[in-house]
């Protein structure tokens, strides 16, 4: 044992330790589902606690991370959030095997879901290769609990302010198969203007669904973005975002595609984030939700937040969201509808995330 320890310490090795404690208190009065004035609100605090260790050698790397997620006063979920080993075949090629976070592009179809206290990590193998044409990733994962097999091929090229990425994603289970092909394009000018476009087509055995997303904005003292998303549904087949980080795009109150599917969505949004100095910032996002054909109102939502980051290890956020739901949205959720009832959600989150190079 002493010989092994001495060998590890003498080789060209880097060890990184990380610790995260992230409590979040939420007041829910219409979060996820439409509530009436008679429905009671809830107040609860959840906490994510993580500890991880990464060892990097010249030709391989390994990480083990453990986490405990619990609601105060209740039993927690203890387990492994990351556990993988990586072989650096060359300076351009890497193979990673084990439980790992996988995310592509804007996370509309494949995301790591870091907003959720448990996060999202997949068990499988990933091959990455970098060349003069960009970065290529091939991924295969399997979920024994659901018998889901996922195969993904992703390639991204960047240059001269342009970024172009393509995704092929095949998901199969004993009862259904789904194939998704997507294109993601981004442009950023030297003057701060930017634009983006995403197109995804989804095929099952006999149906076709689609996702369209576009945005334009400017990054200066603050960042302003005008965006539009449309996910097919209704008379068309509903698009399934599958592994998307939907909280990021379809309202922080999680009324769409979080926990339950939605029968399509038209989402116009306007967002602005402005720094306040000394690591602080303030932001607001306004959403206008309609059915995919834009014929019926689903709701209007406003998400606001103030973030403080006094050091790189500490991040604190205070947020408030409010939504006025339309009758069509209550119908889709199978909920009673009362006109004018404000759906609300407020939260305070603090993240302590120190890292040490050993």
- The tens digit of pLDDT for each residue in 226-283 reads 999 999 997 779 999 999 999 999 999 999 999 777 899 999 999 999 999 889 999 9
Per-residue CA distances from 342 to 33, 165, 184, 258, 269 (Å): 12, 40, 36, 20, 19
Residue 193, CA atoms < 13 Å, CB-side half-sphere: 3
Q: What are phi and psi of 193, to 5 degrees?
A: -75, 145
pLDDT (0 to 100) of residue 4: 46
**Model confidence pLDDT, tens digit, residues 109-119:** 999 999 999 99
Burial code of 335-348, b = ≥16 C-beta within 10 A, e = fewer?
A: eeeeeebebbbbbe
Give the contacts of 175 (CB within 8 A, at least 6 positions apart).
none
Report how far residue 233's alpha carbon sits from residue 293's, in angstroms, rounded to the nearest whole number.
9
Q: Which residue has 């003069």 as its token pair?
A: 132
Give the single-character DSSP code of 5.
H
Cβ atoms < 10 Å from Cβ of 333: 16
Report the run of H or E that residue 178 belongs to, with start and end.
strand 177-188
Element (H, E) at 136: strand 134-143
Tokens linked to 8: 């590890």
The Cα 137–Cα 60 span in angstroms is: 18
Q: Which residue has the tokens 């199978």?
A: 334
What is this structure's pTM?
0.92
* Predicted local confidence at residue 11, as pLDDT: 59
- At which residue do the structure tokens 């689609």 appear? 210
pLDDT for the residue numbered 282: 98
Q: What pLDDT score does 145 carry?
A: 83
Q: What is the mean pLDDT of residues 78-91?
A: 95
Q: What is the pLDDT of residue 231?
A: 97
- For residue 2, the model assigns a pLDDT of 56
Report the chain's mean pLDDT, rounded to a whole number. 94
Helix, strand, coil percent values for the chain (each to nearest 5): 5, 60, 35
- Structural fold of domain 24-42+142-357: Porin (2.40.160)
Q: How far apart are CA 50 and CA 54, in angstroms?
A: 13
User: Does the pLDDT value for residue 12 go beyond 80?
Assistant: no
Share of the chain above pLDDT 90, in %: 87
Task: Calculate mean pLDDT across residues 192-211.
Answer: 95
How confident is the model over 345-355, as pLDDT tens digits? 999 999 999 99
Q: 312 near 260, Cβ under 8 Å? A: no
Write down the pLDDT at residue 9: 52
């Amino acid at each position: 044992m002493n010989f092994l320890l001495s060998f590890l310490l003498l080789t060209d090795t880097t060890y990184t330790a990380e610790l995260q404690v992230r409590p979040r208190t939420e007041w829910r009065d219409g979060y996820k589902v439409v509530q009436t004035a008679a429905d009671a609100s809830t107040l609860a605090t959840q906490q994510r606690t993580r500890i991880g260790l990464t060892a990097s050698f010249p030709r391989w790397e390994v990480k083990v991370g453990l986490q405990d997620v619990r609601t105060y006063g209740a039993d927690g979920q203890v387990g492994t959030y990351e556990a993988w080993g990586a072989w650096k075949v060359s300076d351009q090629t890497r193979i990673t095997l084990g439980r790992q976070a996988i995310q592509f592009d804007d996370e509309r179809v494949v995301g790591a879901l870091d907003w959720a206290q448990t996060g999202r990590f997949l068990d499988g193998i990933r091959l990455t290769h970098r060349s003069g044409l960009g970065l290529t990733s091939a991924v295969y994962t399997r979920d024994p609990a659901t018998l889901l097999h996922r195969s993904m091929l992703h390639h991204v090229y960047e240059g001269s302010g342009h970024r172009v990425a393509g995704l092929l994603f095949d998901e199969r289970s004993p009862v259904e198969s789904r194939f998704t092909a997507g294109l993601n394009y981004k442009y950023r000018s030297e003057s701060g203007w930017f634009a983006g476009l995403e197109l995804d087509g989804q095929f099952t055995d006999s149906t076709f669904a689609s996702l369209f997303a576009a945005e334009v904005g400017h990054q200066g003292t603050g960042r302003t973005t005008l965006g539009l998303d449309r996910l097919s549904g209704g008379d068309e087949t509903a698009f399934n975002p599958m592994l998307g980080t939907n909280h990021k795009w379809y309202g922080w109150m999680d009324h769409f595609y979080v926990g339950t599917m939605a029968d399509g969505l038209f989402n116009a949004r306007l967002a602005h984030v402005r720094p306040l100095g000394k690591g602080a910032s303030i932001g607001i996002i306004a959403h206008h939700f309609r059915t995919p054909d834009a014929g019926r109102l689903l709701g209007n939502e406003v998400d606001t937040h103030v973030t403080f980051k006094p050091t790189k290890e500490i991040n604190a956020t205070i947020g408030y969201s409010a939504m006025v739901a339309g009758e069509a949205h209550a119908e889709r959720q199978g909920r009673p509808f009362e006109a004018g009832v404000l759906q609300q959600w407020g939260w305070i989150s603090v993240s302590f995330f120190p890292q040490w190079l050993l």
